[in-house]
Amino acid sequence: MSFAMELFVWLLIDTALGFLFYSTGCFILKVLTFGQYKIKFKNFSSFKGDKAKKINLIMLLGFSFYVSLIILIAYLNN
């Protein structure tokens, strides 16, 4: 029972963080291209079903934004 609950919690965390990284990546692409890049922003229910290469790259962009933000904050605090 404990394993099933732990698995459920980790899947929930994976979905939430993946959607956060995806939405951040979409926003960054829109800002960097001044709105010229047309991307369909998927809703939360259809997000998990579509794991295309393009979506994974957008998630990587969002993840790298948060990593660079953490590094910048750590650098400024020293």
Please give the pLDDT value at position 58.
82
Q: Where along the chain do its domains lie?
A: 2-77
Residue in the block written with tokens 């459920």: 8
CA distance 68 to 71: 5
Over the stretch 22-55, which tens digit does the pLDDT of each residue have?
A: 888 888 888 888 878 776 666 655 655 655 666 7
Please say if the pLDDT value at position 21 is more than 80.
yes
In 3-state terms, what secondary structure has residue 50?
A: coil
